[in-house]
Amino acid sequence: MTLSSLKGQRVVIYFYPKDDTPGCTKEACNFRDRWDVFADKGIKVLGISKDASSSHSKFIAKYQLPFILLTDEEPCAVASSYESYGLKKFMGREYMGMMRHTFVVNPNGLLELIYRKVKAEIMADQILNDLNLV
């Protein structure tokens, strides 16, 4: 799948650190719970992490996620192009990792909204509100 193949549609791309972790689950479930609005408006939702396809499949099944999860393996070229992969700090430790960032691409393929400070449990609601769809 390429973003250019989705031209003509609005697309939400959300980068997240890891399948089936507390914050990532809240974010995915918020998109799931608001899925009817995204689907009715023809908006594609794509979640991207470093996790393998097998992990995505389990995550999708466990939480009945109706949207696509994609794998961006090291060196995380897709996330890097969105400045969503880089140095992170957690409990005094530094490491390279996926940032929790979200982007909305308009039907012309241009960035419409950028979220660098994401509240996982309300991200889908915030997008819908910012697009005046609720």
Active-site residues, by number, are 24
Q: Which two tokens stand for residue 117?
A: 């400070």
List the structure tokens of 81.
Answer: 């192009």
Token representation of residue 134: 């609720």
Q: What is the identity of the amino acid at 3?
A: L
- Residue 16 tokens read as 């997240």
| DSSP calls for 60-77 | HHHHT--SEEEE--TTTH
